[in-house]
Amino acid sequence: MKQLKRIKGTQDALPEKTMQWQALEKHIRRNMALFNFREIRTPVFEMTEVFARGIGQFTDIVSKEMYTFQDRSKKSLTLKPEMTAPVMRAYMENSLYAQAPLQKLYYIAPLFRQENPQAGRLRQFHQYGAEFIGSPAPEADVETIVLALHIFEELGLTNVRLRINTVGDPESREPYKLLLQDYLKHNIPNPEPQVAERIANNPLRVLDSKDEKLREVIAGAPKLVDHLKEKAAEHYRSVKTQLESAGVSYSEDPTLVRGLDYYTHTVFEITSDALGAQNALCGGGRYDLLARQLGGRDFPAVGFAAGMERILMALESQGKSLARPAVPDVFLITMGEAARATMTSWLAKLRRAGLSADADFLGRSVKAQFREANRSGTRFSLILGEDELNQKFFAVKDMKNSTQENVPFDSLTNYLLQKKESLTV
């Protein structure tokens, strides 16, 4: 029978890699707490409408990338492709606004998009992100951007760049869309069907096209920043001034429009020079209209999400590791039947004392047990043979210095705990 394989675009995290994942998650939780964000968890699937309405029908995600299926009762469900819409759904459904006017929420979650897999682009990937709900103030945008950068900085990621833009409010954007549509129609006489469709349904998305020829046309297109109504212009100005006074360096990119429809005002992306074509580590922005699109009342909000696989890739390319491999504190080596019969109880005793302990489970020769102890990376091997058993002591071998000491049964755990402490200091 054919041996089964994992689904294209998914990854197994093997033990060495999960150490990095755990360390990254710990780092995220610690820094989210510093900014007073609290964790929220939502189901892995939602009613399809949460995304169709939330992200927007004409976006790539909704029109071609979602894992959508009917359950047995013919309901349309979707594996979540992003977290912002589910978080807003949960916020409203659970009336979090009644607990406090401002909610700072964060998440770490697996997400699903049926994209063409390549380096840094997966079908199941993981994001952490933050959603700051309840404040329309530019200070909230800045808090969010500063948080995103803070996490990268503390990780020691170098060569990250922040780009910002505004997609304005509907009063600025609707008339601008017509202007842009007009310009694109005149300047792209025979558009490819996909481009024609975008011009008709989502003209702003034409702005971030990667096509060289289109980019020339786009360079001359009217810019939304030049067509902002006063309120939107003031918001954007204020975000920029505050970023500057916080010492945050950024560049403005009028073609940054992001792939999701819920944005208003500030949008931003953080890229890494260490990555290839998929160089966006993090994207976000303000999304004051999402709550209403999901059937609620207006709740202003701003947030970001960062791709964890890409962060681990960027760290790796910098030669940076977040965690050392875990090794057992001790490895038990037994010689002879009588000693072996005490193995389980000794392991239990060591573990109860807080020492991580392992042993041989194949009944192998002493030589093979030493080889296993070496492979485990342990610092100390505890050797128990007939003599030791009769005289109630262990031969404790320091695997690094190749020194050996006899330690009575009674004082074994204390001796090892002291050794362990002196090594970690």
Terminal C-alpha separation, the chain: 54
CB-nearer residue toward ligand HAM: 283 or 328: 283
Does position 280 interact with ligand HAM (CB under 6 A)? The reply is yes
How far, in Å, CA of 252 to CA of 166, rounded?
9
Among 173, 240, 310, 397, binds ligand HAM (CB under 6 A): 310
Among 236, 307, 378, 412, binds ligand HAM (CB under 6 A): 307
Among 24, 108, 157, 281, binds ligand HAM (CB under 6 A): 281
CB-nearer residue toward ligand HAM: 87 or 332: 87
Which ranges constitute the DSSP H helices of 156-192? 170-187
Query: Nearest CA to 111 among 129, 123, 97, 95?
Result: 123
Check the CA dihedral 34-83-142-275 and report its sign.
positive
Take residue 352 and report the two structure tokens written for it: 């109860």
Take residue 248 and report the two structure tokens written for it: 């945050």
> Considering only 69-77, 80-88, 146-154, 209-217, which stretch makes contact with ligand HAM by CB under 6 A?
80-88
Does position 84 interact with ligand HAM (CB under 6 A)? The reply is yes
CB-nearer residue toward ligand HAM: 117 or 385: 117
Sheet with 403-408: strands ordered across: 357-359, 330-334, 380-384, 393-398, 403-408
> Considering only 10-18, 78-86, 151-159, 247-255, which stretch makes contact with ligand HAM by CB under 6 A?
78-86
Per-residue contact flags (x/-) with ligand HAM for residues 38 to 77, judged by CB under 6 A: ----------------------------------------
Looking up tokens 């759904």 gives 89
Does position 305 interact with ligand HAM (CB under 6 A)? The reply is yes
Does position 283 interact with ligand HAM (CB under 6 A)? The reply is yes
Paired strand residues for 110: 126
Residue number closest to ligand HAM, CB atom? 307
Count CB neighbours of 26 within 10 A: 12
Antiparallel, parallel or unpaired: β 330-334 and 380-384:
parallel
Smallest distance, Å, CB 298 to ligand HAM? Answer: 16
> Considering only 30-38, 224-232, 275-283, 400-408, which stretch makes contact with ligand HAM by CB under 6 A?
275-283
Segment holding 309, helix H or strand E: helix 308-317
Smallest distance, Å, CB 296 to ligand HAM? Answer: 17
- 275: which residues sit within 8 A by CB, 6+ positions away? 119, 120, 281, 310, 313, 314, 317
How far, in Å, CA of 224 to CA of 140, rounded?
22
> Considering only 69-77, 231-239, 282-290, 386-394, which stretch makes contact with ligand HAM by CB under 6 A?
282-290
Smallest distance, Å, CB 311 to ligand HAM? Answer: 8
Looking up tokens 């025979």 gives 190
> Considering only 96-104, 153-161, 187-195, 303-311, which stretch makes contact with ligand HAM by CB under 6 A?
303-311
Count CB neighbours of 365 within 10 A: 11
Q: Of residues 106-165, which lie at the interface with ligand HAM (CB under 6 A)?
A: 113, 115, 120-122, 125, 127, 129, 131
Segment holding 79, helix H or strand E: strand 76-79
> What does the binding site for ligand HAM look like in residue numbers (CB under 6 A)?
82-84, 113, 115, 120-122, 125, 127, 129, 131, 259-260, 280-285, 287, 303-307, 309-310
